[in-house]
């Protein structure tokens, strides 16, 4: 009987390394399988076909959804960032489970370790709550696609072009060249000015007594020619056109022009629109309001004016 008891103990101790080795191999295999699933999901997500219609137009969908455009790039960046995050979480969870199970097989008391880990986790939660807040905000920001690299956004205290998107900090550069580092957990609102498309808004002022119908026809003509120009048609999603009179005063009429462009391309389109509009106005003798400078006759403070 003593010999049999010793043999059972020997068998139990001999099986322990095999069990631990089995747990390690199982953990490694499970991690590899899960990481492979995540990689396949990332590749599938990054390679999704773009929408066939955008603003009711197939041409706009082709321009925005082209694999060489920012639309595909930011979708790929989001997919890879989330894939890396999920793989890291998977590795930590599997490694923790394998370690605790192996310690239990070796005869160590796991309950005190779990209790200590719980206390440490609570302490870290209170001490690093801002870090956890930033991290969770960054995760949801990526999941919801609130903004991406290249977008022009307004975060309240800082606005500019996004240069880097992280799980904790977002970096954006404003018009003065200042690089802002904004913690994701401190962002209460985000205004994205270029997600999907940018709006072209242009106010055109002409003399008060000009023929409004003629001026509107000329402006729409410039918008159509610009949208059909081979150098600019890839930048324009919706042809700029007059939507009506925006303002009327004693010396001028202001007509508003609205259109849609590819993200961040409306600045160049507006400049070209103004240039062509000036040339056409000069050719058709369309008058614009004459600027009035202080000190001119008839103005308050001018010589001979009461």
In this prediction, residues 155-165 reach a mean pLDDT of 85
Q: Judge whether 63 and 237 are in contact, CB under 8 Å.
A: yes
pLDDT at position 203: 93
The residues near 183 (Cβ < 8 Å, ≥ 6 apart) are: 130, 134, 168, 169
pLDDT at position 120: 65
Confidence of residue 51 (pLDDT cuts 50, 70, 90): low
pLDDT at position 234: 87
Residue 6 has pLDDT above 90, yes or no: no
Residue 301 has pLDDT above 50, yes or no: no
Residue 152 has pLDDT above 80, yes or no: yes
- What pairs with residue 232 in β-bridges? none
Residue 271 has pLDDT above 90, yes or no: yes
**Average model confidence (pLDDT) for the chain?**
78
pLDDT at position 225: 93
Residue 41 has pLDDT above 50, yes or no: yes
15/146: higher pLDDT: 146
Distance from C-alpha of 78 to C-alpha of 143, rounded to nearest angstrom: 8
pLDDT per position as a tens digit, 201-230? 999 999 988 999 999 999 999 999 999 998
In this prediction, residues 281-306 reach a mean pLDDT of 65
pLDDT per position as a tens digit, 92-140? 888 888 888 887 777 777 677 667 666 666 666 666 677 778 888 888 8
Q: What is the pTM of this model?
A: 0.58
Residue 278 has pLDDT above 50, yes or no: yes
pLDDT at position 52: 54
pLDDT at position 113: 66
Q: What is the share, in percent, of the chain residues with pLDDT greater than 90?
A: 20
In this prediction, residues 73-85 reach a mean pLDDT of 71
Asked which of 53-67, 119-133, 229-243 is least confident by mean pLDDT, the reply is: 53-67
């Amino acid at each position: 009987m003593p010999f049999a008891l010793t043999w059972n103990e020997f068998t139990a101790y001999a099986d322990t390394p095999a069990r631990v080795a089995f747990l390690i191999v199982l953990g490694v295999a499970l991690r590899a399988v899960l990481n492979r699933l995540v990689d396949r999901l990332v590749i599938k997500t990054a390679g999704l076909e773009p929408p066939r219609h955008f603003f009711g137009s197939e041409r706009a969908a082709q321009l925005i959804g082209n694999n060489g455009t920012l639309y595909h790039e930011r979708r790929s960046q989001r997919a890879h960032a989330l894939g890396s995050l999920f793989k890291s979480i998977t590795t930590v969870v599997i490694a923790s489970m394998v370690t605790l199970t192996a310690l239990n097989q070796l005869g160590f008391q796991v309950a005190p370790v779990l209790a200590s880990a719980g206390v440490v986790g609570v302490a870290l939660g209170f001490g690093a709550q801002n870090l956890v807040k930033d991290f969770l905000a960054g995760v949801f920001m990526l999941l919801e696609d609130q903004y991406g690299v290249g977008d022009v956004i307004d975060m309240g205290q800082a606005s500019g072009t996004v240069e880097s998107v992280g799980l904790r900090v977002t970096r954006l550069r404003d018009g003065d060249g200042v690089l802002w580092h904004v913690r994701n957990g401190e962002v209460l609102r985000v205004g994205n000015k270029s997600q999907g498309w940018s709006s072209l808004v242009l106010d055109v002022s002409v003399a008060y007594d000009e023929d409004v119908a003629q001026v509107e026809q000329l402006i729409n003509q410039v918008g159509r020619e610009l949208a059909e120009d081979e150098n600019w048609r890839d930048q324009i999603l919706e042809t700029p056109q007059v939507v009506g009179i925006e303002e009327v005063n004693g010396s001028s009429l202001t007509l508003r022009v609205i259109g849609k462009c590819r993200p961040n391309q409306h600045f160049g389109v507006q400049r070209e629109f103004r240039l062509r509009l000036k040339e056409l106005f000069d050719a058709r003798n369309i008058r614009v309001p004459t600027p009035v400078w202080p000190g001119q006759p008839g103005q308050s403070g001018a010589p001979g004016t009461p």
